[in-house]
Copies of this chain bind each other. A is one copy, B any other.
Amino acid sequence: MSMVRPSVHPIEAPPLTDNALPRGRMTDTQGMPGTLGGFVLRFIQFAFAAVSLCVMATTSDFPQVTAFRYLVAAVSLQSLWSLSLAITDMYAILVKRNFRNSKIVSLFSIGDGITSTLTFAAACASAGITVLIGNDLNSCAKNHCSRFETATAMAFMSWFATSPSFLLNFWTLASK
């Protein structure tokens, strides 16, 4: 910097087009945060988790079973996480900015890993109990089997939608 001298001709600034990738930025892949694919994925996750939460919460006897209480907690967390990231994605699309630096992607990747693991665990535990009630004990008559099954299936669908987000973020993080 000590070599900079005043000159009458202004030096041309380096071009700041989309092709110039600054350090710490990554290429644009659909499904990444800030893209339309990412927003659609987040919205699907949120929708399935919210439906699962509503269906399970409207059954009268879910608090008697620990796994169903855990499912309600897990899909609540999943829906909050997915909704906040969907809003962030929508904001990024509207202002035409992408915020894909390494720290953001690692934060999203860790959050996706935690929420998807919790949702999957809750869905599996609920599925085990639903199958136990329905198939093994044959006591669907005095239980809300169909509602339990619906809530479990929606939680699985939410996990299916979260996995691509997690794998894509993890892949981008590793390949940067």
Closest chain B residue to A122, Cβ basis: B124
Closest chain B residue to A128, Cβ basis: B125
Looking at chain A's contact residues, is the secondary structure mostly helix, strand, loop, or mixed? helix
User: In the complex, which of the residues B64, B120, B175 contacts A121, with contact meaning CB atoms closer than 8 Å?
Assistant: B120
Closest chain B residue to A125, Cβ basis: B128
Cα–Cα, bound, A175→B175 (Å) = 4
When all copies of this chain in the complex are counted, the total is 2
- CB-CB contacts below 8 Å: A38-72 with B: 64-67
Cα–Cα, bound, A125→B131 (Å) = 10
Contact present for B136 and A65 (CB under 8 Å): yes
Distance (whole angstroms) from the CB of A174 to the closest CB of chain B: 4
Within 8 Å CB of A67, what residues of B? Answer: 128, 131-132
13 intermolecular pairs with C-beta atoms under 8 Å apart: A65-B132, A65-B136, A67-B131, A120-B120, A120-B121, A121-B124, A124-B125, A125-B127, A128-B128, A128-B129, A129-B132, A132-B132, A167-B170
